[in-house]
Amino acid sequence: MAIRKLLLAAAVLAAGCTSPGQSADTTSTRAPFTTAPTTTSTTVDPASSLMPQPAPVAGIWLTEFGGVVLQFRIDQGQDQELTALFDSPMEGASDLPATISAEGVDVTIEIPIASATFEGTVEGDSLAGVWKQGGAEVPMLFARQAEPFAVSRPQEPQPPFPYESVDVQFSNGPIPLSGTLVIPKGEGPFPVAVLISGSGQQDRDESLMGHRPFLVLSDWLARQGVATLRYDDRGVGGSGGNPVGATTADFAEDARAAVVSLAGDQRFSAIGLIGHSEGGLIAPMVAGQSDEIDFVVLLAGPGLSGADVLAKQIEELMRAEGAARSAVDWRVGWGNEVIALAASEAASLDVASQIRQILEAAAADAPPGLEQLVGDTAIEETVAVYTDPWMRYFLAYDPQSALQELAIPVLALIGDLDLQVSAELNVPALEDALAGNADATVIELSGLNHLFQTATTGAVSEYGQIEETFAPHALELVSDWILRRF
């Protein structure tokens, strides 16, 4: 997923907002390292002295930076060649290929998927150096560990499971889609919900930063008596198709295909949609065009256009990561111009040309440490993002009409610490749009973030740090609401 590269870059951006020379505090990541006991013997085995000695860089190295744990695992083979893997466990990224070159205690590690390089020097149990990414150079200190870091996810379902879980296949025309159908044990029929993931290519569990929210949600619902169908997005896992060039409307067709696969199945008493984030845009689109859908649950589903959502998101996320007011104003200023252009009906070539002009002008007064956001490479990346068909559709699409047309039961939940779909803006918009629906409920949940975790700030950097995957009272709200109706 692109989010891996995005969040690593976000950590570097956060560092760019600190004072010159300031680095992340890594003291909390240092684990006690036990050396071999000292011996008084001076006898040397001639044969062992001729054996190749381990390279000083071999081992497990870990740091915590910007709220994200970063880890190198460096091995030395029998041929003395070094190999390296990179992990960002809290982002759900592990075993990422890395290339390594070392000369004595000096090491250079490149992580292609993140377009990042680390150059450092080993001194005892410390690996100090500089992380380079996106034009930024940030000091980092890794500490040697005895064991690899492992995240704790206590809500991860464990067998035995009191329900049936079956892999299923269905299709949207020529696009084959693969998912998991979970059916409660006992006498049915049961209400069933199709789970629709948020933006970006997601697997059926909506895996993100070591969490699997849809797995936890489907497990909970099955235990309460609600069946679910969750599926891999096109081009991910067991699903075919190519997401490149596809828009939210195209992904809505995939969700509709999931509904069609369930229609007429006598095991189910009602069919609903549970959409998270962009899935909360898709659910009303699908429900408004299908008589087979009996209810909709929106989890952080927007009530405003993508342009309004993204403009607020940029500001809120920067604030949460501690960016200075001047930096936020600068970023939001040119960001709003770019968003407005991308949401317009202008031709993409014209949009690209004008974005370049906006960012080149912004480079003239970039705050210290943020110059990389408007460097040559970053400008072209921004052009690519904002001329992508998915982004242009998302920014221009307003969900109000689809929400107003819903005449079936609707539950909309948003956390008050959601910085990606702001409760402050979207709750009133949802309430207005659903005002004519006799069975519509909009609830703002205190202390929950975009993933419905119990959070402190709502910042993206917290997602992987929090052990909780899905707040229990939010899970209960969803299941109780469905079961009271079906």
Q: What is the pLDDT of residue 12?
A: 38
Q: What is the pLDDT of residues 123-169, one digit of tens each?
A: 999 999 999 987 788 999 999 999 999 889 999 999 999 999 999 99
Mean pLDDT computed over 242-260: 97
Q: What is the pLDDT of residues 309-332, one digit of tens each?
A: 999 999 999 998 889 999 999 999
User: Is pLDDT larger for residue 99 or for residue 55?
Assistant: 99
Binned at pLDDT 50, 70 and 90, residue 453 comes out as: very high
Q: What is the pLDDT of residue 53?
A: 58
pLDDT surpasses 80 at 17: no
pLDDT surpasses 60 at 307: yes
Mean pLDDT of the chain: 89
Q: What is the pLDDT of residue 402?
A: 98
Q: What is the pLDDT of residues 395-451, one digit of tens each?
A: 999 999 999 999 999 999 999 999 999 999 999 999 999 999 999 999 999 999 999
Q: What is the pLDDT of residue 43?
A: 42
Residues 6+ positions from 248 with CB-CB distance below 8 Å: 278, 281, 282, 285, 390, 393, 394, 397
Q: What is the pLDDT of residue 137?
A: 87
pLDDT surpasses 80 at 16: no
Q: What is the pLDDT of residues 30-86, one digit of tens each?
A: 222 222 233 333 344 444 444 455 679 999 999 988 778 899 999 998 888 999 999
Q: What is the pLDDT of residue 93?
A: 83
Q: What is the pLDDT of residue 54?
A: 65
Q: Which among 148, 151, 149, 143 has a CA at the least distance from the CA of 27?
A: 143
User: Is pLDDT larger for residue 320 or for residue 305?
Assistant: 305
Domains and CATH numbers, the chain: 2-14+24-30+56-145 (2.40.128), 163-304+398-485 (3.40.50.1820), 307-393 (no CATH)
pLDDT surpasses 60 at 22: no
pLDDT surpasses 80 at 6: no
- Per cent of the chain over pLDDT 90 is 78
**What residues pair up with 442 in beta bridges, in sequence order?**
412
79: its two tokens: 């041929």
Phi, psi of 22 (to 5 degrees): -75, 135
pLDDT surpasses 70 at 102: yes
User: Is pLDDT larger for residue 458 or for residue 33?
Assistant: 458
Q: What is the pLDDT of residues 159-183, one digit of tens each?
A: 999 999 999 999 999 999 999 999 9
- pTM (2 d.p.): 0.83
